[in-house]
Structure 1
Amino acid sequence: MFSRRKLSGRILVSQLAILGVTSVIGFVLLAFAQRAQIDHVKEQQALSIAQVAASDPQIVAAMSGGDPKPGPHGPVQTAANRIMDATRARYVVVIDRNKVRHSHPLPGLIGQTVTEPVVALDGQDHFFIDNGSTGRSANARTPLKDSSGRIIGEVSVGIDERNVFATLLSELPPFALYIGAALAVGVLASYALAWRLKRTTFGLELEEIAGLLQDREAMLHGIREGVLAFDQSDRVSVVNDEARRLLGLGTALGSRLEDLMPEGRLRRALAGELGPDEIHVLTDSHCLAINRMPVVLHGRALGAVVTVRDRTEIVGMLRELDSVRGLTDALRAQQHEFANRMHTLAGLLELGEQEQALDYAVELASTDRTQAAKVRERIANSLMVGLIVAKCTVAAERGVRLTLDPASKLSADPGHLRRLLTVVGNLLDNAVDATTGSSPANVELLILETPHAITVRVSDSGPGVPDEARAHIFEDGWSTRPDRGTARRGLGLAMVHRLVTRHGGEITVSQGPGAVFTVRLPLPDTEPAPLGAVFISAPPVLDLEAGAAVSAGNGGRPRTTATTMTTTATTATTTPTAGTNSGRTRW
């Protein structure tokens, strides 16, 4: 029945039971203490009566001259009766040195010898609770002396226990009233506490609170998203294992954000300073989607809940998909151009111009080989060559001229290869985006390897970086252009900046018009990326020799796609006779 009561009822009943038990115990202890105090008072009172009796002249004279015949009518008994009547003492017993009683309230004991020693012969006063022949009493004994001061016996006086109990009963009601008042105050305090707890727990009962706790623990450790909860003072009150892994947190409970991580976009996103929408933040290891929602219950602000999702693989796949779509559009244009070439050859052959058709075919084949050879002369690494040619194809489709600086030089196995692919791919994407639609639309790439460093410089003829944006250009989520297709903007430059600075390099951007991004990675590469390392950018490139589509984020290992693309499908040429767009780039 108790377990089925409401929480407030349980608290009230428990508090009342505790107060009742403690009040009874306190009252009993107080009664015992008061009883001891009254006993002590009665002992002192008995001692005073004994001292009066020991100085009574009739008793002193009778005991000094010797009481030849102690009895109920002797002088000592007569004086003792007079003193008992006057003081209401239970007994006044006079004993000589030979332990013979000369007075006693029981006449039959007068003249008898006591069994216990005569303690007052030592000349000291004694008082205690005595359980003698007349019952329990507060007893006091004092030495009886003659006129010369010689001890001739003792006087023992007792006060009836009934007098002690009556005094105790007369003093206990005020204490009982005090305890009752304290109990009433405790009842009111218990009721107020129960009401307060009920309000604090929003009316939830104990079983409901326990169920909520179990559900919360199951949810926190069962979901694959990071969850943080902040209380009203912005201290971490809840954090699950996934949040600790994604954010690199240790023991975070009870801590503030400023104590857990340094100033930056990640901390501002967790604190809700970047707005109510979902925020994407790059860390050294993850691309995180962060969402912060305030918690309000019954009109009371209780804090906020932050969810953290790992979007690294998804964003990487989306960017790769967007790059593949760009290549698909470029290859579709190549298909049209290839069809124009075939139509030209077919027309020449139909007209009987076999020699001119042969010269045209030889010219096309030599042009393609010359283009690939020019790139190979400066860049020895096949992956980087494939990336550059692929970006050239995409740029040509968008009407942008992409050129390679003649001073470029890169070995077949350079340091920071995978990072270089990421850096070059992202910088070229940004440069092509910035120059698309402008006139002229030019992008120039320089890759220079020296014994001490590898320098990458990408310059474009676009509008450049605004002065007010230079302080934010490398922050994740910052972009001057809307999202394109599936790829979320504002991550490329932030990722390049993190990648470069994390490995001891530096990245700078010049003032407009046009933008020049310069990246410097020191050599030797003391921390090469492991095989299979995946970067978010991972732009697809074309292997000119193997003729297979590979990914820069695939550790340099070929990954064959469903469609094999040959070298001739990687470049865009200008063929005036075929009537193609003269704005496309030609190597």
Structure 2
Amino acid sequence: MPRMGRTLASRILFAVLGIMAVTMALGLALFTRVTSRATDQQAVEQTRSIAVSLGHVPQVATAVEAGDPDHVLRRLAEAVRRDSGASYVVIIGRDGTRYSHPNPALVGQKIEEPVVALDGRVHTGVDQGSLGRSANARAPIFDANGRPVGEVSVGLLESEVGVRFTHEMADVLLYTGAALALGVGASLLLARGIKRVTFGLEPAEIVALVQEREAMLHGIREGVLGIDPSGRINVLNDEARRLLDIQGAVLGQRVVDVLPDNRLRGVVTGEVAGQDLVAVTDEHLLVLNRMPVVVGERQAGWVVTIRDRTELEALLRQLDSVEGLTTALRAQEHEFSNRLHVLSVLLELGEVDEATRYSRHLQADTALVGEEVRSRIGSPVVTALLLAKTTVAAERDVRVRLDPASRLTTPVADEVPIVTVLGNLIDNAVDAVADDPRTVGDHPRGEVMVSLGCEDGVIQMSVSDTGPGISADRLDDVFVDGFSTKEPRRGMRRGVGLALVHRLVTRDGGTITATSPDGARFDVTLPMRRKEVVE
């Protein structure tokens, strides 16, 4: 069990108490100083008022001039002291003789200091008298002609003022104690509220969780993007930055202000719903999942996980192509075996001339297709692609033809874009024809026409098929990531090929359009990069 001094509640309690104690101490010291000054000033004003009032009483002046033979001044001074609350009221003659004093032994004796009020003014202050330190006021006693004949000294002892101050301080201390008690209660409530928000975790545990989260987020090879309920980014690890190509500080910004308006942003914001959704960028093929985050039965936002499937998808497609080619070669092997058997039987029967004629006929048919393509296409790589696709399509009972008007004899510097685009378009066309339910039982199932040309430095490609085509209302969606009218095959994700083709074509400065006059037709233009010929 953690020690009390280390818990969140105790930290908040001690912090609040410390702040309040320091604040109260400073406030109390300031209040004491101000109140003490105010109390002294109040005492001085009170004594001044008493002294001035008594100095203007005619009977006082008459008795002082007569030497107070009837001791009237003593009784009068005692009555005034008792009624006013003063500590002492001393009436002094011109010669300094005391006619009244709280200490009877001093009555009739002279004061040590001069009679200062004979100048006709009132003198106030805090000084040391015979009874102790006191707030004092000395006012002149005026006769009927307005001449000073003595003085009245009225004082409030410091002890009496201190009693009043103590009563006021008791109220202040009571208020201070109540405030401290309220602070303790408020700190405990605050600690409980914070503990509830932080799920009962202590600060050290929260720090450890944050460190572990940062280490995990930035140490995995999967992108993680956290979005709060208002659509702002609050978590973004390094892999997500790389895959989404996000630069700079974007935490706190809205997703719609960071990502461009495309399918990727639609998946991240939830406009496109589903699991394992595919999005294609200029560099990557991404698979995204968007899951809600619920904390304490509250919707806290969403977490988007991002996986890079670029290499895996390329390998799957390459494997699919190799498997298709292998199947075609196996079929050709079977066909060649049949032909060899025919030749063998003809020779066994002694039909040498017929066997020779049959052999030349097979050789002419095989060479004719390859020679026809090579005569129109100058690139050996593109030629090999067309021949391979023709062989694979034939195995699926689909005929692939090269438009007789096709010509591409100019050497090309980079054939990868042409091969990638053309290969994907032919594959899609062959799939559409081979899977067309309308042609079941037909031989062949349908036809794919390929056209290649070059004009004014622009390569023009066209692939059309006799398949079911594309409905007019879906023509604008064929290049969107994930769009497909076919069922997934062998773990490969449908709706990716055309999206990749579109990204590749537009990135290289070309164009691609889709139409569906009778079947599907795709027209592509690509800027040509001529191969430099070294002489």
TM-score by length of 2: 0.83
Measure the CA separation in 2 of the matches of 1:211 and 1:338.
70
3-state SS of the aligned residue for 2:509? coil
Question: What letter is aligned with 1:478?
Answer: F
Closer, same or farther: CA 503–127 of 1 in aligned 2, 3 Å: farther
Q: Quote the Cα distance in structure 1 between the aligned partners of 2:124 and 2:240.
A: 77
Q: Is the 8 A contact 2:117 2:150 kept in 1?
A: no
Contact 1:457/1:518 (<8 A) preserved = yes
Separation in structure 2 between the aligned mates of residue 83 and residue 165 of structure 1, nearest angstrom: 21
CA distance in 1, matches of 2:404, 2:122: 124
The aligned residue for residue 320 of structure 1 is 318
Q: 2:521 aligns with which of 481, 503, 516?
A: 516
**1:386-413, CA deviations, whole angstroms, 9 ceiling, x for partnerless residues?**
1111111111111111011122222443
1:146, distance to aligned residue in structure 2 (A): 7.5
User: What aligned pairs does 1:42-57 form with structure 2 within 5 A after superposition?
Assistant: 42-57=43-58
Say which of 474, 486, 503 aligns to 1:481: 486
- 1:424 aligned counterpart, secondary structure: helix
- Tell me: higher relative CO, structure 1 or 2? Use CA pairs within 8 A at least 6 residues apart: 1
Unaligned runs of 5+ in 2: none
Q: Distance in 2 between matches of 1:120 and 1:273?
A: 100
Over 3 Å counting, the alpha-carbon distance change for 1:101 and 1:447 in structure 2 is farther
- TM-fit CA distance, 1:348: 3.0
**Whole-Å Cα distance in 1 between the matches of residues 128 and 376 of structure 2?**
122
Q: Equivalent residue for 1:243?
A: 240
Q: State the match for 1:284 in structure 2.
A: 282
Query: Structure 2: how far apart are the matches of 1:468 and 1:303?
Result: 35
- Asked if structure 2 preserves the Cα contact closer than 8 Å seen for 1:76 and 1:102, the reply is no
For residues 456-484 of structure 1, give each alpha carbon's deviation from its aligned partner in whole angstroms, at most 9, with x where no partner exists. Answer: 11100000002332232111111111112
Name the residue aligned to 1:225: 222
How many angstroms apart in 2 are the aligned matches of 1:498 and 1:421?
Answer: 15
Distance 1:224-1:3 versus aligned 2 partners, 3 A rule: farther
The answer to whether the aligner puts 1:501 opposite 2:498 as a matched pair is no
User: 1:323 Cα shift?
Assistant: 1.0
Write out per-residue CA displacement over residues 173-229 of structure 1, whole angstroms, 9 at most, x where no aligned residue: 444444444444434433332222222112222232222111111101111111112
CA distance in 2, matches of 1:225, 1:144: 101
Query: Are the structure 2 counterparts of residues 280 and 4 from structure 1 closer, same or farther at C-alpha, using a change threshold of 3 Å?
Result: farther
CA contact (8 A) 1:42 1:164 kept: yes
Question: Secondary structure in 2 aligned to 1:386?
Answer: helix
> Which secondary structure does the structure 2 equivalent of 1:410 belong to?
coil
Alignment of 1:435-514 (within 5 A): 435-437=433-435, 438=439, 439=442, 440-514=445-519
* Alpha-carbon distance in structure 1 between the residues aligned to 2:147 and 2:370: 141
Partner of 2:432: 434
Query: For residue 208 of structure 1, what is the aligned residue in structure 2?
Result: 205
| SS of corresponding position for 2:278 | strand
Structure with greater helix percent: 2
Aligned to 2:194: 197
SS in 2 for 1:166: helix
Change (3 A) 1:34 1:340: same
Q: 2:168 aligns with which of 163, 167, 171?
A: 171
Identify unmatched segments of 5+ residues in structure 1: 529-587
1:295 correspondence with 2:296: no
* Residues 187/113 of structure 1: CA separation in 2 closer, same or farther (3 Å cut): closer
2:136 is matched with 139
- In structure 2, the CA distance between the partners of 1:502 and 1:94, relative to structure 1 (3 Å rule), is farther
Deviation at 1:159, TM superposition (A): 1.3
Aligned residue for 2:412, secondary structure, equals coil
Please tell me whether the aligned partners of residues 255 and 265 of structure 2 are also in contact (alpha carbons under 8 angstroms): yes
In structure 2, C-alpha distance between the alignment counterparts of 1:352 and 1:414, rounded to whole Å: 52
Distance in 2 (alpha carbons) for counterparts of 1:96 and 1:242: 102
**Matches of 2:472 and 2:80, distance apart in 1:** 116
Change (3 A) 1:316 1:45: same
1:373 to 1:31, Cα distance in 2 relative to 1, 3 A: same
Describe the shift of the 1:153–1:459 C-alpha distance in structure 2 as closer, same or farther (beyond 3 A). Answer: farther
Counterpart position of 1:351? 349
**3-state DSSP of counterpart to 1:471:** helix
| TM-aligned CA distance change 1:453 to 1:94, over 3 Å | farther
Aligned CA distance change for structure 1 residues 287 and 52 (closer, same or farther; 3 Å): same
Secondary structure at 1:495 match in 2: helix
Q: Is the Cα contact below 8 Å between 1:120 and 1:141 reproduced in 2?
A: no
Which residue does 1:584 correspond to in 2? Answer: none
Offset at 1:450?
0.8
Distance 1:178 1:492 in 2: 79
What residue in structure 2 maps to residue 547 of structure 1? none
Alpha carbons of structure 1 residues 119 and 311: separation in structure 2 relative to 1, 3 Å? farther
**1:41 corresponds to:** 42
- When residues 88 and 480 of structure 1 are mapped into structure 2, their CA distance, relative to the original with a 3 A threshold, is closer
Q: Distance in 1 between matches of 2:46 and 2:191?
A: 52
Equivalent residue for 1:385, pick from 383, 386, 389: 383
Tell me: CA distance 1:165–1:442, structure 2 relative to 1, closer, same or farther (3 Å): same
Matches of 1:510 and 1:281, distance apart in 2: 23
State the Cα deviation string for residues 4-40 of structure 1 (Å, max 9, x = none). Answer: 6643454345445544554455445444443333222
Letter in 2 for 1:406: P
Equivalences for residues 257-276 of structure 1 within 5 A: 257-276=255-274
What residue is the counterpart of 2:112 in the other structure?
A: 112
Q: Pick from 411, 418, 440: which aligns with 1:420?
A: 418
* 1:113 CA displacement: 4.0
Q: Structure 1 464/127 Cα, relative in aligned 2: closer, same or farther at 3 Å?
A: farther
SS of the residue aligned with 1:403?
strand
Secondary structure in 2 aligned to 1:507?
Answer: strand
CA contact (8 A) 1:120 1:126 kept: no
- Pair 1:334-2:332 in alignment: yes
Distance in 1 (CA, whole Å) between partners of 2:409 and 2:151 is 125
Q: Distance in 2 between matches of 1:191 and 1:468?
A: 65
Q: Report the Cα offset of residue 245 of structure 1.
A: 1.7
Alpha carbons of 1:423 and 1:55: their partners in 2 closer, same or farther (altered >3 Å)?
same
Letter in 1 for 2:251: L
- Bigger CA drift: 486-495 or 169-178? 169-178
Secondary structure at the aligned position of 1:454 is classed as strand
Q: What is the distance in 2 between the residues matched to 1:376 and 1:335? A: 23
Deviates more, 1:173-182 or 1:477-486: 173-182
Between the aligned partners of 1:363 and 1:379, the Cα distance in structure 2 is 25
Q: Distance in 1 between matches of 2:209 and 2:19?
A: 29
In the alignment, residue 49 of structure 2 is paired with which amino acid? S
Instruction: Name the amino acid aligned to 2:498.
Output: L
Partners of 2:521 and 2:51 in 1: CA distance: 118
For residues 84 and 247 of structure 1, do their structure 2 counterparts lie closer, same or farther at Cα, with a shift above 3 Å needed?
A: same
In 1, are the aligned partners of 2:60 and 2:141 still within 8 Å (CA)?
no
Shift of residue 56 of structure 1? 4.9
Of the structure 1 ranges 280-289 and 32-41, higher mean CA displacement relative to structure 2 is found in 32-41
| 1:138 counterpart SS class | strand
For the residues of structure 1 that align with 2:197 and 2:475, how far apart are their CA atoms? Answer: 50
Report the 3-state secondary structure (helix = DSSP H, G, I; strand = E; otherwise coil) of the residue aligned with 1:296: strand
If the length of structure 1 is used for normalisation, what is the TM-score?
A: 0.77
CA contact (8 A) 2:58 2:144 kept: no
What's the Cα RMSD here?
Answer: 3.8
